[in-house]
Homo-oligomer: A and B are copies of this chain.
């Protein structure tokens, strides 16, 4: 079994949840996706698992920290496997590919903002929008070659 899937299953077990066929299908599908996904995508990919169960399992994984839930302004949130503890995301504006990154300077700056901001800081979130290398490559070749 893939280390990612083990991690997801462990996250469920650690919450005292039972190991069931439905949950295994969900975790192995997430592991195979190997990319960010929406809840509806999972439902479509797993017609043999009920929507309620898909949503419930995702919620468990998010609550346990094994999955990140990314807000998407126009549309359903996306989920991606959390590979390191605290991190932020890159999102390709063209294809939606999601990456993780972590940079100490960012965290240091956050701490320095405490003076500037009214109230107590309890957390933060950050997304960097990019055009990913695949999409850059695509627009360099093909696309405009008709002129």
Counted per complex, copies of this chain come to: 2
Main secondary structure of the interface of A (DSSP, over half): mixed
Contact partner of A133 (CB less than 8 A), chosen from B77, B118, B136, is: B118
Residues of A in contact, count (CB < 8 Å) = 37
Contact partner of A118 (CB less than 8 A), chosen from B99, B117, B120, is: B99
How near does chain B come to A12, taking the closest CB pair, in angstroms? Answer: 21
How near does chain B come to A35, taking the closest CB pair, in angstroms? Answer: 15
Asked if A17 is an interface residue, CB under 8 A from chain B, the answer is no
Q: Knowing A118-B132, A133-B118 touch, does A71 contact B69 (C-beta < 8 A)? A: no
Q: Which 10 A-B pairs have the closest CB atoms?
A: A71-B71, A119-B130, A123-B129, A119-B132, A126-B126, A120-B131, A124-B128, A125-B127, A122-B129, A119-B133
